Structure formats: C-alpha cells, structure tokens
Structure 1
Amino acid sequence: MKNDLIIYGYNCKNLGDDLMFAEIINKTHYKRYFFIGHGEVPHFVNKKVFFIKPGRLMKLRWKFRADFAVIGGSVLMGASSQQREAIMQKIKWFRWNKVFGGRNFIIGANLGPFDNKAEYLSLLSRLNLVVDKWFVRDNTSYEMLKKVGARYLKLMPDIVMGLNKEDYVSVRGNSIAISVTSVDKDKNSLINPEDYINEIAQIAQHYIDSGRTINFISFEDRFDLKPINEIISLLKKSEGKVSVIENNGKNVIEAISRADVVVATRFHAMVLGALFEKKQIIYSYNNKTTQFAKTYGFKTYEVTGSSLEKQPFLTKFDAHSLEFASSYGKLVQS
C-alpha cells in the first residue's frame, strides 16, 4: 500500500469539490496527503494536508511511490485549446508519477464537453496509457473509455453520494432551496444568462406568492452570489421571504436538508437534493448534469423563458448506489 496520496483538483472553495475531496481523504488511510497548488485545506477535510507548489522545482517536491489522483467532475474538458492543454498537463504529471514509482487515478469524472470527438478520443487514449484506475460517474463517459481500452474502469456513483446524510437531517420547514450559478462560466454557451435569471426569478416569485420562504444557496460565492443578487432584484414583495446562504461550512447542506423543494442548477445541488430525497426542478446547464441525470432517471429542464411547465419531481438514489458510493476509499487504496 502506498504511503502518500497526491491530489489535483479544483480547490477553490467550491462546495461540491470540497465534499468530493473530503470523502476521499477522510475515508482512505494514507499516511500523508498532498494537494498540488496553493490554497487552504478544503472544508470538511479532517486530516492534515500538505501542498506541493507548482513550478520549475516541482519534480524535486514530488513524492516517491505515491498514488496520484485527479479528482472532480469537470477535470477532463476538451472544448477549447486551453482545456485540451490542461489534459496534456495532467498526462505530463502522470508520466512523472510513473517514473517516481507511483499509481495514477481519475476519480469522479464526467468526460467532456469536447468540440472534436476524434481529437478528444485521441487525447483519452494518450491519457489512458498512464492512468491505472478510472472511476467515472455516468454511462456516456464509461462507454467512451471502453472504446479507448481503459484497463481498470468502474462506473461509480458520484463521490458525494457517500456523504452521511444523518449528520445533516433536520426538521423540514416551509422553505425552497434554489441553487443558482453563472451559467456562462467555463465558456458555456448553452443557456442565455438573461433568460436564465428571468426564469429562476419566475419560479422564486411563484413560491413566494404561495407563502413559501426562499433560500438562495451558493456553492461557490465568487460565481454564484452575483446572479443570486440579480434574481433577488427582480422579485416583488419578497421582504422577509428571501435569504442568501453563502458557502460557509454546513450552511448550504443544511438548507437543502430542510427544504420542501430544491431548484438545482449546480450539479451537486442535484446530487444533494436526491441524497435527501427531495422533490426537484433540475436545470441542465451543461452536459455533465444531463449525462448524470440520465444515468439515474432524473428529469431535467431547459431554460425556455417560462417556468409554468417546470414541475418538481421526487428524486432519490437506490440503496445499492449509496452503498457502492461508500466503497470509494477501499477501491482507490487497494
């Protein structure tokens, strides 16, 4: 068994990614944990974490015979030259780790999006030469990796589905949790931001008019708070009916656990909503949401300019999937 785990991922105070990191770190038994990059220890991680500074001296800071894991849902995007260069950087790091006697993992990913399938498959083939274990969370990604001959490949639940929800369950109130984000981030052009803002405002106004309170939840404050405030500015007679829940510890998870309905744009708002068996209105603002939702039979909605046809439906995960999600630690470290 390797003594060290080196992690690369989006460590920028994003709730979904922090939960993914915590599930892997807290449920494995390495002697030491390292993140590539700078920053703080992610929320929910309860073990000591060190950092490996990138740069010209990075090879001198690398660890011998370590497991190296790239963790996250959007770690293999290929829709721009910048995103393809990021895949090449991961290939370079994986090669280093092989020279240092280590193993390489991709954990929790959705493949894509990409703008040229042949080119993207070629990149995956090169990546596959240096990846020892693939753990992906949707059927589309699984089938693509079978095409490139992935050796150790598992279709797994999302990592966050292993969260112990009993730590968060509380008495339900009369509230609606609405997850909002900047839908054009990552150069996503599938949704018109103005149409999205107006439609979420329609949904929020409907629930306010029916006597509900609204909790707008932010998974990543630097992206989510701006559209949240734009939506609030459009609401009428909302005084005392609207709260903004910033990403600070357990706040967002607790707001979801108490909600009657979850309106989910953020990917992990959908996952947490289903974990707590909530009725949801799920907006598919990118391919990873659509691919995952199809895997579990969840209905998704597109922005149409009208919220009238958007009805919440019950979402939940089966017991087998939840149990399978709790096995990540064992499968990664074996």
Structure 2
Amino acid sequence: MSRYVISGYYGFGNAGDEAILQAIIDSLQSHDSGADITVFSAQPSKTALEHQVRAVHRTSFAQIVAALRQADLFISGGGGLLQDATSNRSLLYYLGLLTLARGLGCKTMVYANSIGPIKRTCNKRLACYVLEKTDFITVRDQLSLNLLAELGVHKPQIQLTADPALLLPSPVVAPEERVIALAVREWPSQHDFLMEIAIAGRRLVQDGFSILLIPFHFARDLAVSQRLAQEIGAGASCLMQAQSFDDLVIGLARSEVVVAMRLHALIMGAVCNRPLIGISYDPKIEGFLQSVGQPIAGSTADLQADHLYELVLAAYNQRVEVRSNLAEQLVKLRQYADKNAIIATSLAGGERA
C-alpha cells in the first residue's frame, strides 16, 4: 500500500476539475488496490464525501505538512495549474507545494498538466527551477511539452500522456436529433465573442436546431449561459439548476455536436463520441483539439459567427464519419491517459517508471 497526496483546483465546484480528480483516484486504485489517498481541497468535507478519500484544507499549512510527511508521492494535478494567466498567486501556490513536498522528503510528480501560459520572466525562471527538481512530469498536450523545453526543463523524466478524464465511462445515451450542446464561460476580451456565438446560434435555430446551454462551472457559468440563451432566443435553453457531473455528461451525450470553451465539456464530449468544435481562451483548448483532430472555430479575440456556423453545419452533416475517426483517436488517448497512474504507482512504490 502506497500513500498519495493530490493537489489541484479541487473543492471549487468546477465539474471539469472534479472529473479529473475522480479519474485520478480511479486510476491509482486500479493500479494500486491499497492506495491511501489524501486530497488538498477548498471544501475538504465535500471532497471526502464525494470521492471517498481523505481530504484536508488546501490552505491549512499544518494539515498540509502532516499529510506530506506521511506520503510516498505528492501529485500536482491534473489540469492547467502551472500558469500565470489567471494570477501570480496560483502559480506560486502550486510551485510552493512542489517545493515543500520535496523538502519534506516526498517524491513529486506533475500529473497530466497543461503547462502555461507563463508570461512573466521571473515566473518562467521560478517554474524552471522548481520543475527541474521534480521526479517525473507528464503533460496532456504537445504545446505543454514544447513549453517545458522552452523553459529549459530537462532533468526530470517527461512524458506526453493525456487527460485522466478520458478514462471516465461514457453514458449509454442516444443523441437527440439536431440538438447542439454549448458550454461557454466569461473571459475578458475587447472582441464581443459572445455576440458572435449568439448570431451563429440564431442562424442554427432558424435551420431547425435546438441549442442547450450547459454551465460546466455552475457558479461561474450560469449567468453568461442564461444571457446567451436569451440572446439566441426561442430554440435555446439553459440548464438552470446545479447538476451532478454525470448529468452534465448526459446532457453532452444527448447532443449531436458539442461546441465549447470549457475544456472538460470538450473532453467529455469526446468520451461520448460527439463531434467537437472549440472556442479557445487558453492554449489547453487548442492542445486537446489537436490531439483528437477536431476543429477550433476561433478564439475569444477573433471568433466570427459565420465560421462558427459553417463548422457546426459541417460537423453535423459529417457526424457519422467524425464519430468513427474520433473513436479511433480515443482508443490511443485512453492508453496515454492510463500511463499517468502507471508512472505514479511505480514512483510511489520506490521504482523509476
């Protein structure tokens, strides 16, 4: 039995991050049946109950140190943790935990991360310094692998894997005809990308499609999803109550095409084998879509309604072929995703993967 401590953006009500956590737990337990797991969470009681693991508060220094002193492996991830686009504080927090774990004699692994963007020179240097001392790094997209090389991170073993959530099961649900799932979020931009989405949405509704807005991070995405549904008008609806992750995925599975800004709406759309169209606000969106050969309509800085509309029509008209190609890609990606836990359990057991 090995002891694992996991740190990430957990306990904040983000369905995508909770999916990552569950997938990591399931994967570790599948390769180490006696895995003893502790999670750093913003809501430890909720995390412990939902995921059936130990949990301590992510800002309780005493509890963090106590957990790390007993751990065989500290896991940072998964997700897009190592970036300074949202704040300096977030990057410093996760790098600080890696440093603390190392100082307490714990092996460390960056697990299926998207790295970057890291914009500030001082942050790039700090990230390189900390990551060079990490025992193993896995990243979930090629862009992150490239950025590590640019940062000068060479000493630890580094592998390209895939997002752990790809290992989660898909609901057996048939798609409903001409339904499009749409998962958006707020993002600062001088370009009114939400209006472009609304314009494309209105044209699709005129063509006989229905649009279901799915707030993937309910607390943050509900208002913008409601607003967008109102802008599109009749033919668009929005999930108005907080849903379990399984129910969110069922919503994706009931659609014929998934259009999303939220990464894990795209990932779970892929798990459900639905054609995907991404709208990028972060390189991780492009990184994932490249890995599954699915298109990006544009970014929050340049999205155009006409292009989005045409991509949705093309995805719908070619959905049988797209689903066949996507299924082939998923087989490979799930094998890559499983490598994360194989490496982690090997490290925790005292071996090099």
Structure 1 residue 262 corresponds to structure 2 residue 274: no
Q: What do residues 12-33 of structure 1 show as CA deviations (whole Å, max 9, x unaligned)?
A: 1111101100011122135432
**Kindly tell me: are residues 45 and 201 of structure 1, through their superposed partners in 2, closer, same or farther at Cα, counting changes over 3 Å?**
same
Where in structure 1 are there 5+ consecutive unaligned residues?
none
* Residue equivalent to 1:93: 97
Q: AA paired with 2:187?
A: V
- Within the candidate set 205, 210, 214, 2:207 is matched to 210
For residues 270 and 4 of structure 1, do their structure 2 counterparts lie closer, same or farther at Cα, with a shift above 3 Å needed?
closer
> Which of 66, 72, 75 is the equivalent residue of 1:69?
75
* CA displacement at 1:272 relative to structure 2: 1.8
**Partner of residue 198 from structure 1, selected from 169, 175, 195:** 195
Q: 1:236 to 1:125 in 2, by over 3 A?
A: closer
Cα separation, 1, equivalents of 2:286 and 2:303: 19
Distance in 1 between residues matched to 2:65 and 2:251, nearest whole Å? 44
Hey, which of these two has a bigger chunk of helix by percent? 2
- Residue of structure 1 equivalent to 2:229: 232
Distance 2:49 2:291 in 1: 27
**CA offset at residue 329 of structure 1?**
2.2
1:103 is matched with: 107
3-state secondary structure, aligned to 2:277: strand
Distance 2:240 2:337 in 1: 27
Q: Which amino acid aligns with 1:223?
A: R
Alpha-carbon deviation of 1:55? 4.0
**1:87 Cα shift?**
3.1
Alpha-carbon distance in structure 1 between the residues aligned to 2:155 and 2:166 = 24
* Per-residue deviation, 1:128: 1.8
Bigger mean CA offset, 13-22 vs 295-304: 295-304
Q: Please report how far the alpha carbon of residue 46 of structure 1 lies from its aligned counterpart in structure 2 after TM superposition.
A: 4.1
Deviations 1:233-272 (A, max 9, x none): 223334xx52426552112100111111111111112222
Q: Which among 158, 172, 175 is matched to residue 172 of structure 1?
A: 175
Residue type at the aligned position of 1:21:
L
Structure 1 residues 97 and 235: CA distance shift in structure 2, 3 A: closer
* Residue of structure 1 aligned with 2:306, choices 293, 305, 308: 308
After TM superposition, which residue ranges in structure 1, 4 or more long, deviate above 6 angstroms?
none
Contact 2:4 2:75 in 1 (8 A): no
Distance in 1 of aligned mates of 2:196 and 2:48: 32
Counterparts of 2:224 and 2:158 in 1: how far apart (Å)? 38
CA contact (8 A) 2:185 2:221 kept: yes
- 1:113 & 1:62 partners in 2: Cα distance? 30
User: Counterpart in 2 of 1:50?
Assistant: 55
The one-letter code matched in structure 2 to 1:274 is: A
Percent of aligned pairs with the same residue? Answer: 19
- Supply the distance in 1 between the matched residues of 2:42 and 2:225 (Cα, whole angstroms): 28
Q: CA deviation at 1:323?
A: 2.3
State whether residues 63 and 100 of structure 1, in contact with CA within 8 Å, keep that contact through their aligned partners in structure 2. Answer: yes
Match of 2:116 among 112, 134, 150: 112
Aligned partner of 1:332 in structure 2 is: 344
CA contact (8 A) 2:4 2:35 kept: yes
Contact 2:183 2:265 in 1 (8 A): yes
Within the candidate set 239, 244, 249, 2:239 is matched to 244
Pairwise CA distance, 1:211: 2.7
Name the structure 2 match of 1:35: 39
CA gap 1:233/1:141 in 2 versus in 1, 3 angstroms: same
Counterpart-to-counterpart distance in 1, 2:153 and 2:38: 30
Instruction: Give RMSD over aligned pairs.
Output: 2.6
> In structure 2, the residue corresponding to 1:154 is in which secondary structure?
strand
Q: Contact 2:180–2:210 (CA<8 Å) still a contact in 1?
A: yes
* Whole-Å separation in 1 of the counterparts to 2:154 and 2:257: 42
Q: Distance in 2 between matches of 1:124 and 1:217?
A: 35
Match of residue 220 from structure 1? 217
Amino acid at match of 1:292: F
Q: In 2, Cα distance between the equivalents of 1:115 and 1:4?
A: 31
Please list the CA deviations of residues 143-166 of structure 1 after superposition, one character each: whole Å capped at 9, or x if unmatched: 33243214221101111111122x
What is the CA-CA distance between 1:216 and the residue it aligns to? 0.6
Instruction: State which drifts further: 257-266 or 42-51.
Output: 42-51
TM-score (norm 1): 0.85
Match for 2:84 among 78, 84, 91?
A: 78
Higher mean displacement: 262-271 or 12-21: 262-271
> In structure 1, how many angstroms separate the alpha carbons of the residues matched to 2:279 and 2:185?
11
Distance in 1 (CA, whole Å) between partners of 2:51 and 2:131 is 32
Q: What code does the residue aligned with 1:291 have?
A: G
Contact 2:260 2:279 in 1 (8 A): yes
